Amino acid sequence: MKSPVTLFWFRRDLRLHDNAGFNFALRSENPVVPLFIFDTEILQALKDKRDKRVEFIHKTLVEMQKKLHDWGSFLLVKHGVPIDVWHQLVAEYNIAKVYTNNDYESYAMSRDEEVRRFLESRNIEFHSFCDQVISEKNDVLKPNGEPYTVFTPYKNAWKKKLVSTQAHTAAYPIKTFRTNFYKGSPLPMPTLKEINFEPSGASFPDTNVDDNTIVDYHRQRDIPGIQGTTRLGVHLRFGTVSVRDLVKRAIHLNETWLDELIWREFFKMILYFFPHVENRSFRAKYDNLAWRNKKEEFDRWRVGTTGYPMVDAGMRELNETGFMHNRLRMITAGFLTKHLLIDWRWGERYFAEKLLDYDLSANNGNWQWAAGTGCDAAPYFRIFNPTTQMQKFDPDLNYIKKWLPEFGTSKYPEPIVEHKFARGRAIETFAAARE
């Protein structure tokens, strides 16, 4: 009879160090087989077969595989529908326990529940842990037990809880438990081509962020023409960095940066308690907004030809690199929803296709914030003027010139709509929906 093993299932936690579920798996009495599944349910929905995110995942797995080989083990990489893969794994291994880390999106939770039921029907234990956030689900609630729907009181409660339970930022080392890996010869990993994708040629930001970038974050974060942010979004999205490490650095270096990490957890909590936001406005009255939804205007926004330089430069950068500066995310999202009165879901879906750091809860929360339909939204009458935003945050046109070489020539288009007119139209439209 085969010896019993424990499987650890990597998903949004693609690192070997300071990984909660992985640490607990290695503490179990059985040798651990590390596992990753390229989920065809997710991959088949991706239109671009040069998707940068898939390449990022594959690149990361190759690096993890090399490290595991150094330790005499391997990473088991499968490709298929998760429940089908688990049927195969149960036939292949004598699995005693399965460990993983929690995920909070609707698809992930239903997938995990299906796998849990299947494994438990075979008397296999399924254990899942908090790892991609500091506080999850019911960890930070109002005194009456209800979820917060406004960020500032949530942030204050989050920080108070962190101070009272410093264990939340304790690391999960693996050095002590390396002997508990399942030993075996290196296994082949499917290539990008074998999972029906191709290299994109993209470059990805480093995980090593200088302390000075964090120290100066509150002074530089709104200036898109400089490297004033950490660009760790993609690493947080796929768990190639530990949020515990980042929070500890933020506590010592910059509270504004810590607040940004808390925004991420706030939006995850909102999605968990109010799953309707995935497809509808948080505030139901705004489901009746009279969106104009002009496709030709959406297409001009999408490719960066609106005639508003900050909007166009942001969209060009997104399309080319998969990255967009946070200030530009607010400007481009606000322009689409307020100036053009195009449904925030159109823009949210487009960002979901393009952003390297796409995360459902953050993308949804930020789009609804910009549109004025969300839980902690900017008031509907707060409408960014893209021209004054450019004058304030890119006065020397460093960012504009980089992404809009035709700016200042006859080739650059006239504005798609006049700001004052668009602002008035948006205020009237939103006010009507509130009645």
Token pair of 193 as six digits: 């081509």
Question: What distance in Å separates the CA atoms of residue 2 and residue 5, rounded to the nearest whole number?
Answer: 9
Do 199 and 211 contact (CB within 8 A), yes or no? no
Q: Which of 86, 257, 263, 301 is catalytic?
A: 263
Alpha carbon 404 to chain centroid, angstroms: 27
Active-site residue, from 301, 367, 369, 403: 367
Catalytic residue check, 260: yes
To the nearest 10 degrees (0 to 180), the angle between helices 360-371 and 344-354 is 150
For 288, other C-beta atoms within 10 Å of its C-beta total 11
List the catalytic residue out of 105, 136, 291, 353.
291
Is 367 marked active-site?
yes
346 as an active site residue: the answer is no
Concatenate the DSSP letters of all residues of 337-373 into one string. IIIS---HHHHHHHHHHH-TT--HHHHHHHHHHHHT-
* Axis-axis angle for helices 360-371, 255-273 (nearest 10): 100
Alpha-carbon separation of residue 256 from 225, 243, 259, 262, 421 (angstroms): 20, 16, 5, 10, 35
Query: Which candidate, 171, 198, 190, 136, places its Cα nearest to that of 15?
Result: 171
Q: Is 136 a catalytic residue?
A: no
Taking the C-alpha atoms of residue 72 and residue 83, their distance in angstroms, rounded to an integer, is 28
Q: Which of 105, 260, 278, 353 is catalytic?
A: 260
Locus of tokens 């009495």:
29
263 is an active site residue: yes
Q: Which of 158, 344, 369, 403 is catalytic?
A: 344
CB neighbour list of residue 172: distance below 8 Å, 6 or more residues apart: 18, 19, 20, 22, 23, 24
Rg (CA), the chain: 23
Long-range pairs of 396-399 with CB within 8 A, sequence gap ≥ 24 = 396/225, 397/309, 398/225, 398/226, 399/224, 399/225, 399/310, 399/313, 399/325
d(CA 219, CA 350): 30
- Mind telling me the catalytic residues? 260, 263, 291, 326, 344, 367
